[in-house]
Amino acid sequence: MHSYLIKKNLKKISRMTAIGTITASLLFNTVPVLGQLEPENSAEDNEAITPDQEQVTPTQEDNTPSYEQGEDSLIQTTQSSCDGEAVVGRFRRVGSGASFSFNGREVELQNESLLDTYSRAEIKSGWRSGDQVWVDRSYKRYDLTDSGIKSNADAESQGWKQCGPFSGKRTQSVNNSVHAARACARIDGVSKCGKWYLD
């Protein structure tokens, strides 16, 4: 796994002439696929996510397994299932059905576009108290050269894990370099997810 990520990271570093020092903790990143991304509209999206911010306040049920979206053997659900906390970077909206409108809310799957390793979910507009948002990440590993929207059958074939849910507007992050990710929300007791996306 590490050798694959290192190879992909080296390709990426060679293309990034404007980046200064890259710390050792960020060496396992991937080549960006920006064709399906749409620019964000707010400078606040570039801020680091910290546990004391409202956006990432977990609900009481974050440490309780949930199996709402699949068979018990296929899904693991806790806040600890997130891959990155307080990830700093420039997150941009993923289009092509990975982001969606639902009950007056705009729910986005967002990809970190600088080092291109993480994805998160956010209720971008219309958020109300009681809303919940989370991001799923497939257990299936894809080839390093693969990218784009994936079918439910394909992405869910080996199960998936759920980062969240969160009671704020924004989730923590999952690694989507060789795994597909999707944004989900529960609004007024009804859950909906966008399409699976592999960066």
Q: Residues 72-103: pLDDT tens digits?
A: 334 444 556 899 887 888 899 999 999 999 99
pLDDT on residue 40: 41
Q: Does 27 have pLDDT greater than 50? A: no
How far from 44 is each of 11, 17, 40, CA to CA, in Å? 30, 25, 10
- For 75-95, b where at least 16 C-beta lie within 10 A, e where not — what string? bbbbbebbbbeebebebbbbb
Per DSSP, 9 falls in state H
| Pairing label, strands 100-102, 105-112 | antiparallel
Summarize the confidence of residues 57-71 as an average pLDDT: 35
Do the domain assignments include residue 11? no
Q: Which of helix, strand or coil describes residue 140?
A: coil
pLDDT on residue 12: 45
Structural domain including 187 reads 34-198
Share of the chain above pLDDT 70, in %: 60
Do the domain assignments include residue 190? yes
Contact 102, 186 (CB under 8 A): no
How many domains, the chain? 1
Do the domain assignments include residue 82? yes
Q: 55: pLDDT confidence band, cut at 50, 70 and 90?
A: very low
Summarize the confidence of residues 175-197 as an average pLDDT: 96
Do the domain assignments include residue 27? no
173 bridge partner residues: 84
Q: Which residue has the higher pLDDT, 60 or 138?
A: 138
Q: Which residue has the higher pLDDT, 192 or 87?
A: 192
